[in-house]
Amino acid sequence: MIIQKELYDRCCPAYQRIIDELEEKLIAINAPEEDIPIIKQCFSIIMEVSQSYLLPKEYWRYCLDYLIRMQSRLTEDDLDFLCSSTAKRALFHLHFEERWDNGFEASVLFVVHTYLF
In the chain, where does DSSP find H-type helix? 5-10, 13-28, 36-52, 57-70, 76-92, 100-103, 105-116
What is the tens place of the pLDDT at every residue in 53-82?
988 888 888 887 787 777 788 788 888 888
- Domain chopping of the chain, boundaries: 5-116
Quick one: pLDDT at residue 116? Answer: 39
Give just the sign of the alpha carbon dihedral 69, 71, 109, 64. negative
Q: What angle do CA 102, 59, 57 make, to 5 degrees?
A: 75
Which percentage of the chain shows pLDDT scores above 70? 70
The pLDDT of residue 21 is above 90: yes
What is the tens place of the pLDDT at every residue in 91-111?
776 655 555 555 545 555 554
